[in-house]
Amino acid sequence: MGYADYLSKLLDFIIIKHINYEGQETRNDVIYTFFKNRNKFFHIPLKTLLYIRKEHPDFIIVQGTKFPLQVILLKIFLAKRSVIIVQDHGNMPAKGIKKVLQQIADRCTDAYLFTAMGNVKIWLDNDIIKNKEKCFEVLEASSYFKKQNKEASRAMLQLAGEDIFLWVGRLDTEKDPITVLDGFEKYLHNNTGAILYMIYQVENLLPEVKAKINSSHLLKNAVILIGKVAHKQLEYWFSAADFYISGSFREAAGYALIESLACGCIPIITDIPPYRKIIGQHGFLFEIRNADSLYAALLQSSKMSKSKLSFEITDHFQKELTFKVIADQILAVIDTIKTR
């Protein structure tokens, strides 16, 4: 929660975490309080609730929409003046009794934070969030990554390629690597010097990905499966690459995308609400599950100046996607709620 460093300069700000540890510490003037609690749907975190009540908070930001019971209990435990804000992290609407609890929790929630308003639709359609006016656009995440020297990063990682594309994400159906490979294969007919490096932590579709690569002479010579990489190393991978590519069906925000933008990597990504919101006019969008649309985006990207686009993207990140921007957006929401 890097934005806490900025909020703490303007507000009395406490972060509460449920982990396998109990205690308190201060980091950069921000108080962190830890409780040993299970992050389960029906768990009642009594110690946490009592602690929050003792602090008499004016505003509470609950991380995630998947704990409606805890939101309901917060409303019961706290004074009426305490404002409850829930920040979306890509959770999906529940079913059955869990959905009923989410509907009740909506009555206890004063505001929601979504990276993009497009992500609100499924909650409205499922009759969980009743009032769209309670929803605000606030970026979910940012990154401390910085753009490194491209040539030095390539030399360190021993990367080669005329145009380097980078995949960072799970190999599963939601990230849709097969469509990406289909579109990239088409593009290789136009750009035989392109190389796609694939970094992934989850390997659900690895057999299918390998089969797809091995079935194509073009892909066999242009796609390199890397696998797991330490998170800090990604800063150099994003700096070394020209393009970041993603076939994701849905995201709350897109951590890898945001990290790539911090390093000046040009995005070629699916046209989903948070991605569209995050990149603005700086990148290339294609339809989900559509290899031809990806191919068209790849062709379009090849006609642009990579160095110019990379500079514009890092500039966009600094102006629109930093932790300070998130803090400013949260403060704006708080000001709006105060005036209602």
Distances (CA, A) of 305 to 191, 238, 311, 333: 16, 18, 10, 38
Q: How confident is the model at residue 339 (pLDDT cuts 50, 70, 90)?
A: confident
Residue 147's pLDDT is what? 97
40 vs 69, more confident = 69
d(CA 222, CA 18): 44
Residue 265's pLDDT is what? 98
- pLDDT above 80 (res 1): no
Q: How many CB atoms lie within 10 A of CB 324?
A: 15
- Beta-strand relationship, 163-168 and 243-246: parallel
pLDDT in tens, 161-174: 889 999 999 999 99
Average pLDDT of span 276-293: 97
Question: Looking at domain 4-140+323-338, what is its CATH homologous superfamily?
Answer: Glycogen Phosphorylase B; (3.40.50.2000)
- Please tell me whether residue 35 adopts helix, strand or coil conformation: strand
What is the b/e burial string over 97-106, where b = at least 16 CB atoms within 10 angstroms of the residue's CB? eeeebbbbbb
Average pLDDT of span 106-131: 96
Q: Residue 157 corresponds to which tokens in the numbers above?
A: 């990682």
Q: Is the dihedral of CA 102, 105, 106, 110 positive or negative?
A: negative
SS3 content of the chain, % helix, strand, coil (to 5): 45, 20, 35
d(CA 29, CA 141): 21
| Residue 12 DSSP one-character state | -
Do residues 283 and 269 touch, judged by C-beta distance below 8 A? yes
Residue 21's pLDDT is what? 86
- Of 41-55, 145-159, 177-191, 196-210, the poorest mean pLDDT is in 41-55
Supply the angle between the helices 291-302 and 177-188 in degrees, to the nearest 10: 50
Residue 314's pLDDT is what? 97
- Smallest CA-to-CA distance from 114 within 138, 90, 85 is with 138
State the Rg of the chain over Cα.
22
Tell how many helices (H) and how many strands (E) occur in the chain.
Answer: 15, 13
Residue 309's pLDDT is what? 97
- pLDDT above 90 (res 135): yes
| Residue 10 DSSP one-character state | T
| Residue 47 DSSP one-character state | H
Domain 4-140+323-338 identical in fold to domain 150-320: yes
Residue 164 CA, distance from chain mean position: 23
Q: Residue 215 corresponds to which tokens in the numbers above?
A: 């079935």
- pLDDT above 90 (res 37): no
Do residues 69 and 44 touch, judged by C-beta distance below 8 A? yes
- pLDDT above 90 (res 8): no
Helix (H) or strand (E) holding 161: none
Average pLDDT of span 51-64: 93
Highest mean pLDDT among 11-25, 71-85, 218-232: 218-232
Residue 43's pLDDT is what? 86
- pLDDT above 90 (res 12): no
Q: Residue 173 corresponds to which tokens in the numbers above?
A: 């159906």
Average pLDDT of span 45-67: 93
**Average pLDDT score, the chain:** 94
Domain ranges of the chain: 4-140+323-338, 150-320
Q: How confident is the model at residue 81 (pLDDT cuts 50, 70, 90)?
A: confident
Residue 27's pLDDT is what? 86
d(CA 218, CA 184): 9
- Please tell me whether residue 283 adopts helix, strand or coil conformation: coil
- pLDDT above 90 (res 102): yes
Pick the CATH number of 150-320 from 3.40.50.2000, 1.20.1630.10, 3.40.50.970, 1.10.10.10: 3.40.50.2000
Residue 7's pLDDT is what? 86
Residue 35's pLDDT is what? 92
pLDDT in tens, 246-268: 999 999 889 999 999 999 999 99
d(CA 123, CA 132): 9
The single residue listed with the structure tokens 């150099």 is 236
Residue 161's pLDDT is what? 82
Average pLDDT of span 295-313: 96
Q: How many CB atoms lie within 10 A of CB 27?
A: 11
- Please tell me whether residue 34 adopts helix, strand or coil conformation: strand
Q: How confident is the model at residue 114 (pLDDT cuts 50, 70, 90)?
A: very high
- Please tell me whether residue 224 adopts helix, strand or coil conformation: strand
